[in-house]
């Protein structure tokens, strides 16, 4: 087994995804097959090889911290499921975290 | 011959020379969509015909006054529903964004419209561009115009099928692991994935940010050249967009291919059925007759590309898709506390393939697994990139099949995610290395199109377009049209 059902459950929690029992079983089976396939990467000799994060070399340009063209806050709020006119997204009460 | 049979470049020229009007063109395309799209399912969202007519009339007025109507003046186009469009619903094929009407518009779409193209609507796609068959869309599959029982490929399936069926003269798609080239191959259209950074990604819903790239579909390489010329270039809003000047891509299409060195990677033919491999090799031989040279090359790490890609792409996706949490836009499933609101919203809003990839990516980034999966995949990515660097010392372009098979049947691979991933073997390495690639039609098997893929070094789009155009002129594949669905 490349992955266990417990690991799938923990990963789902990290990903903020609620999975039904049926989904959990199926996900474990599918991820196990996919991760099994990924094991072949262990066969590659990567000693001394630098990782590639971007294929095309990039400089990271800095820009002046100045206000550019932007949307009005009220336009952005209009897309939200719940918000207040005084400029806040409204969310359910944060009772506890699961960390 | 009706106007919807013409290529984008023929339409632009005809409108410019007043052989027909932009309004007539728009009218013909709208009627054809009305008549055929119920059977094909290309368009997720159509634009208001009155808005389309008004834009077409503006193009005609400009031309009547002798003004420049743009490179694509009056050409009807469609957009993959991954492009953020102001005032026009944008869903990325997902329930989690259903009903989102953006208040801004992405750079590529703005540039396309500034070049005179007229947007007909938004095209169906695999949810968040994750899929190779268009079956993971939350809004139903798209059908292949060559055989309605078969998939058009994915993830830009609607963009490919719309061009193949003559419902749009050209379309935009995105390509993260083959999502332009594979559907182009499966629908007998031309699809161009530019160099990473050639086109701005600002205002394109993100899937895997180090791999995503915007590109065109057309009936010919020249059509793709015109669209690329319109949308390419640096954008201050996308720090990864390249500063290189944008060439006149259409000019490259006219140049001959004498002396062009075509590399043929052994690994790209090893596991391909002769039904696809033979027509692709014939196409390469045809290019040799036109003056090109054939050179055998090796890309030894090809076999590891899928494993590396599906770790890197899903890791990036798990991070990019964290923003869909029910707070700022889209769906929210009410719940008693914040954590369960997140988890329930995402459970209800994402489809099975997206959940699978978020899980895979989250797992690959977990502490304890990071070195074995993500970091190792990035190192293998370096080796794949070096394979290409070595090969391009010997040749100017690489040629091979775009997809190992012709279009498969709807449902055929839907229950086997790994089998679906494996079909991306020839398109994925190009994204990992950031290269430009094009797929062009090169034959049929059982009346289903086959695609020839050409790859070039970074910013080698002109070489691709030149080679593709020369081949097109020597053959008649790009003039073939599917029969209208009954």
Q: Annotated catalytic residue: which of B94, B132, B137, B155?
A: B155
Q: Given pLDDT bands bounded at 50, 70 and 90, which one contains residue A99?
A: low
Count CB pairs under 8 A between chains A and B.
177
Disruptive mutation site among A9, A55, A58 for chain B (greatest number of B CBs within 10 Å): A55
| B160 in a structural domain | yes
pLDDT in tens, A22-73: 999 999 999 999 999 999 999 999 999 999 988 887 777 788 899 888 888 8
Q: What residues make up the domain containing B366?
A: 303-379
Q: Which of B379, B405, B420 is the last residue of a domain?
A: B379
Asked if A50 reaches chain B (Cβ–Cβ under 8 Å), the answer is yes
| B60 in a structural domain | yes
Position A74 scores a pLDDT of 84
Mean pLDDT of chain A: 90
Instruction: Clarify whether residues B322 and B286 are in a common domain.
Output: no
B179 is catalytic: yes
Asked if A12 reaches chain B (Cβ–Cβ under 8 Å), the answer is yes
Does the distance separating the beta carbons of A27 and B242 come in below 8 Å?
no
The Cα B158–Cα B126 span in angstroms is 9
| B484 in a structural domain | no
B155 is catalytic: yes
Asked if B419 reaches chain A (Cβ–Cβ under 8 Å), the answer is no
Measured between CB atoms, which of A56, A61, A76 is closest to B195?
A56
Instruction: Clarify whether residues B144 and B181 are in a common domain.
Output: yes
Residues 6+ apart with CB under 8 A from A70: none
Instruction: Clarify whether residues B139 and B274 are in a common domain.
Output: yes
Instruction: Clarify whether residues B369 and B424 are in a common domain.
Output: no
Chain B residues 264-303 with a CB less than 8 Å from chain A: 301, 303
| B100: closest chain A residue by CA | A79
Give the gap in angstroms from C-alpha A21 to the nearest C-alpha of chain B.
13
Position A98 scores a pLDDT of 55
Give the gap in angstroms from C-alpha A97 to the nearest C-alpha of chain B.
7
- Say how many C-beta atoms besides its own lie within 10 A of residue B476's C-beta: 9
| B486 in a structural domain | no
| B320 in a structural domain | yes
Domain count, chain B: 2
Q: What is the DSSP string of B291-352?
A: T-EEEEE--TTGGGHHHHHHHHHHHHHHHHGGG-SSSSSS-----SSHHHHHHHHHHHHS-H
Asked if A74 reaches chain B (Cβ–Cβ under 8 Å), the answer is no
| A14: closest chain B residue by CA | B362
Instruction: Clarify whether residues B180 and B310 are in a common domain.
Output: no
Measured between CB atoms, which of A15, A78, A81 is closest to B362?
A15
Give the gap in angstroms from C-alpha B101 to the nearest C-alpha of chain A.
8
Give the gap in angstroms from C-alpha A96 to the nearest C-alpha of chain B.
8
Does the distance separating the beta carbons of B359 and A27 come in below 8 Å?
yes
Domain A5-43: top CATH class: mainly alpha
Instruction: Clarify whether residues B52 and B83 are in a common domain.
Output: yes
Instruction: Clarify whether residues B145 and B276 are in a common domain.
Output: yes
pLDDT in tens, B187-244: 999 999 999 999 999 999 999 999 999 999 999 999 999 999 999 999 999 999 999 9
| B278 in a structural domain | yes
How high is the mean pLDDT in each 10-residue block of chain B (486 residues)? 93 98 98 97 98 98 98 98 97 97 96 98 98 95 98 98 98 98 98 98 97 98 98 95 96 97 96 93 98 98 97 98 95 94 98 97 93 96 98 98 97 89 95 98 97 98 98 96 90
Instruction: Clarify whether residues B169 and B187 are in a common domain.
Output: yes
B21 is catalytic: no
Is B245:B237 a contact under the CB 8 Å cutoff? Answer: no
Q: Which of B338, B363, B379 is the last residue of a domain?
A: B379
Asked if B326 reaches chain A (Cβ–Cβ under 8 Å), the answer is yes
Pairing of strands B293-297, B261-265: parallel
Q: At what angle do helices B49-64 and B22-40 cross, to 10 degrees?
A: 150
- In chain A, which residues have their Cβ closer than 8 Å to the Cβ of B435? 55
Q: Where are the beta strands (DSSP E) in B246-288?
A: 261-265
Disruptive mutation site among B205, B307, B313 for chain A (greatest number of A CBs within 10 Å): B307
Give the gap in angstroms from C-alpha B272 to the nearest C-alpha of chain A.
20
Pairing of strands B397-401, B261-265: parallel
The alpha carbon of residue B317 and the mean position of all alpha carbons in its chain are separated, in whole angstroms, by: 18
| A36: closest chain B residue by CA | B307
Instruction: Clarify whether residues B165 and B238 are in a common domain.
Output: yes
Q: Read off the CATH number of the domain in which B21 is found.
A: 3.90.1300.10
| B396 in a structural domain | yes
Query: CA angle B167-B170-B164, nearest 5°?
Result: 50
State the ipTM, two decimals: 0.93
Instruction: Clarify whether residues B54 and B83 are in a common domain.
Output: yes
Q: Which of B324, B347, B379 is the last residue of a domain?
A: B379
Instruction: Clarify whether residues B238 and B294 are in a common domain.
Output: yes
pLDDT in tens, B11-51: 999 999 999 999 999 999 999 999 999 999 999 999 999 99
Instruction: Clarify whether residues B158 and B51 are in a common domain.
Output: yes
């Amino acid at each position: 087994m490349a992955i266990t059902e417990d690991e799938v459950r923990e990963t789902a929690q990290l990903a903020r995804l609620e999975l039904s029992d049926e989904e959990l079983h199926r996900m474990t089976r599918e991820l196990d097959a996919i991760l099994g396939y990924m094991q072949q990467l262990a066969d590659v000799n990567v000693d001394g090889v630098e990782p590639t994060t971007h294929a095309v070399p990039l400089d990271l340009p800095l820009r002046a911290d100045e206000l550019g063209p932007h949307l009005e806050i009220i336009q952005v709020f209009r897309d939200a499921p719940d918000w207040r006119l005084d400029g806040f997204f409204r969310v359910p009460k944060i009772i506890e975290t699961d960390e | 011959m009706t106007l919807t049979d013409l290529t984008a470049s023929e339409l632009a020229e005809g409108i410019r020379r007043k052989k027909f009007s932009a309004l007539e063109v728009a009218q013909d395309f709208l009627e054809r969509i009305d008549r055929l799209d119920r059977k094909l399912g290309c368009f997720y969202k159509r634009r208001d015909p009155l808005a389309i007519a008004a834009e077409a009339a503006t193009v005609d007025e400009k031309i009547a006054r002798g003004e420049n109507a743009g490179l694509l003046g009056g050409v009807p186009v469609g957009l993959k529903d991954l492009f953020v469009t102001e005032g026009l619903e944008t869903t990325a094929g997902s329930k989690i964004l259903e009903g989102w009407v953006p208040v801004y518009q992405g750079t590529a779409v703005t540039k396309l419209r500034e070049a005179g193209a007229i947007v007909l609507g938004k095209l169906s796609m695999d949810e968040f561009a994750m899929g190779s068959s268009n079956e993971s869309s939350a809004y139903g599959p798209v059908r292949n115009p060559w055989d309605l029982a078969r998939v058009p490929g994915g993830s830009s399936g609607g963009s490919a099928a719309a061009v193949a069926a003559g419902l749009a003269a050209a379309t935009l798609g995105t390509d993260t692991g083959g999502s332009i080239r594979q559907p182009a191959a499966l629908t007998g259209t031309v699809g161009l994935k530019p160099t990473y950074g050639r086109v701005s990604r600002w205002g394109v819903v993100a899937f895997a940010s180090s791999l995503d790239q915007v590109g065109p579909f057309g009936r010919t390489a020249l059509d793709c050249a015109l669209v690329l010329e319109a949308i390419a270039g640096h954008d201050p809003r996308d720090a990864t967009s390249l500063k290189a000047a944008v060439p006149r891509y259409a000019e490259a299409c006219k140049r001959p291919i004498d002396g062009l060195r075509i590399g043929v990677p052994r690994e790209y033919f090893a596991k391909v059925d002769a039904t696809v491999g033979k027509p692709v090799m014939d196409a390469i031989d045809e290019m040799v007759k036109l003056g090109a040279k054939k050179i055998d090359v090796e890309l030894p790490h090809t076999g590891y590309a899928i494993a590396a890609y599906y770790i890197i792409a899903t890791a990036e996706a798990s991070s990019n898709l964290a923003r869909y949490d029910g707070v700022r836009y889209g769906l929210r499933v009410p719940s008693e506390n914040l954590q369960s609101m997140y988890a329930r919203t995402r459970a209800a809003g994402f489809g099975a393939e997206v959940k699978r990839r978020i899980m895979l990516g989250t797992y690959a980034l977990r502490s304890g697994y990071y070195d074995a999966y993500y970091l190792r995949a990035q190192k293998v990515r370096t080796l794949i990139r070096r394979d290409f660097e070595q090969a391009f010392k010997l040749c100017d372009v690489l040629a091979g099949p775009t997809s190992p098979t012709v279009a498969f049947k709807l449902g055929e691979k839907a229950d086997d995610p790994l089998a679906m991933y494996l079909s991306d073997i020839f398109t994925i390495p190009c994204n990992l290395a950031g290269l430009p690639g094009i797929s062009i039609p090169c034959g049929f098997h059982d009346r289903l199109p086959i695609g020839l893929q050409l790859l070039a070094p970074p910013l080698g789009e002109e070489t691709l377009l030149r080679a593709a155009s020369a081949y097109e002129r020597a053959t008649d594949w790009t003039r073939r049209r599917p029969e209208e669905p009954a």
